[in-house]
Amino acid sequence: MWLLSQRFLGRVVVCKCSFSTRPQFEVRKALIVSKMTRYELEKFRNPQFDKTDNENNVRRGFDLDEIKKYYDVHKSYESYVVNTLNAFGIETRIVNRTNYNKLDLEWCDAVFPVGGDGTFLLAASFVPDTKKPVIGFNSDPSRSEGHLCLPKKYSKNLSPALEKLREGKLKWRMRTRIRITLKGMDATKLPKQLHNQQMLMPEFRFCNELEGESKAENEYRLPYLALNEVFIGEYLSARVSYFELKLSELPLTKVKSSGLCISTGTGSTSWHLSMNRITKLSVEQILKLLNVPGSNANVENLVKDFNNSLIFSPEEKRLGYTVRDLISAGVWPHPPGLPSRGFSENIEVHSKCIDAGLVIDGGISYPFNDGTKATVEVHSEDALRTVVLNED
């Protein structure tokens, strides 16, 4: 089923004076960060769940045979990745979200997430700088988009991809990431690892793995860099989120909304796009109000063009922001004039919230309540090194 090749990755020599030179890429030790399947998650929470608790599984709507099938599919693919990398002379080590730590990162030359975009984000969360490349393999293209992974055509035939890596037939893509510094009452409080909450783990594993940088009293640079987005808002979604927002070229503005999403170009295809995309129904209603006739094809093209315009480059140094459900009535926002969506070089947020969180890539959540300020910015040295393979 899987195609293997008995070749080896070697050193690619770089001559910096030529535009035709190829990037240097050498891997001797590969860290595989493997997706945690639903079957493994349930076994982690209850080792006997598939043996002694069938009645409860039925009540919860589990199809045990189905989740075991997808577990087997993933493990088969994981073995294929290991065998292929070994065939190229590369030593491998496998971890998942329960045992991934910074010592694994120090051991390897490159990180290979095996799963989908969620696994890629997990793998990237431990990489602190531009030195270690992160290269994702989509383990189940039929059920996962894997936007951050290599193209789907390589999923069942990794050898051509590894050949291109070996020969330097690639371009580095330095994906912008977001640096966050907290100041104030909640600045030094421990975060919650949201996946650990899902697994009902009593401790927050990541909190003990990475250490941030204390700049001054009650000021703390977070150890995690956001690859997709940072979301700030009340934990209870029905409660209004109240904060003061300072963009690069606008005055400090008091805002009430359903939260603030700050996105990179990488994240612009994710939540940022979902929040801001326009629907065919909305365009049709606008054209009707304007008494402008429009064919079905023209409406669909307009929708497509607008939604595509929301996406920006993963290497873009500006941050895209969206104030979700901005209250624009009476005295809000104050002063008036704040666009609900746009770009900024850096962003400051002063919390006036009651029980809010600052969430990094949907996985790490820091308390962010009244009296706490977040500075959100971009630095070149924080970028994530990924690859784009040259296509023949």
pLDDT at 187: 78
Same-domain status, 61 and 88: yes
Q: What is the CA radius of gyration of the chain?
A: 23
* Residue 345 CB coordination number (10 Å): 12
The boundaries of the domain holding residue 370 are: 178-269+311-383
pLDDT at 63: 78
pLDDT at 290: 92
Q: Which residues of the chain are under the pLDDT cut of 70?
A: 1-24, 51-60, 193-217
Q: How far is 242 from 386, CA to CA, in rounded Å?
A: 37
Structure-block tokens of residue 373: 């300020």
Same-domain status, 316 and 208: yes
Q: Which residues neighbour 119 within 8 Å (Cβ) at sequence distance 6 or greater?
A: 33, 34, 35, 113, 136
pLDDT at 16: 36
Contact 200, 45 (CB under 8 A): yes
Q: How far is 7 from 78, CA to CA, in rounded Å?
A: 19
Residue 65's CATH number: 3.40.50
Q: pLDDT by residue (tens digit) across 8-61?
A: 344 333 333 333 345 667 899 999 999 999 888 888 877 777 766 666 666 667
Q: How far is 369 from 349, CA to CA, in rounded Å?
A: 11
- Please count the structural domains in the chain: 2
Structure-block tokens of residue 112: 């290979």
Domain assignment of residue 235, yes or no: yes
Domain assignment of residue 305, yes or no: no
Domain closes at, from 141, 168, 195: 168
Domain assignment of residue 296, yes or no: no
Domain assignment of residue 39, yes or no: yes
Residues of the chain with pLDDT > 70, as a percent, come to 84
pLDDT at 56: 63
Same-domain status, 82 and 203: no
Q: How far is 334 from 331, CA to CA, in rounded Å?
A: 6
Phi, psi angles (nearest 5°) of residue 243: -155, 165
pLDDT at 201: 38
Q: Which residues neighbour 278 within 8 Å (Cβ) at sequence distance 6 or greater?
A: 303, 306, 307
Domain closes at, from 168, 195, 221: 168
Cα–Cα nearest to 168, from 47, 307, 62, 15: 15
Q: In what order do the strands lie in the sheet with 253-257?
A: 213-216, 219-221, 178-184, 372-378, 347-351, 241-247, 253-257
Give the global pTM. 0.86
pLDDT at 213: 62
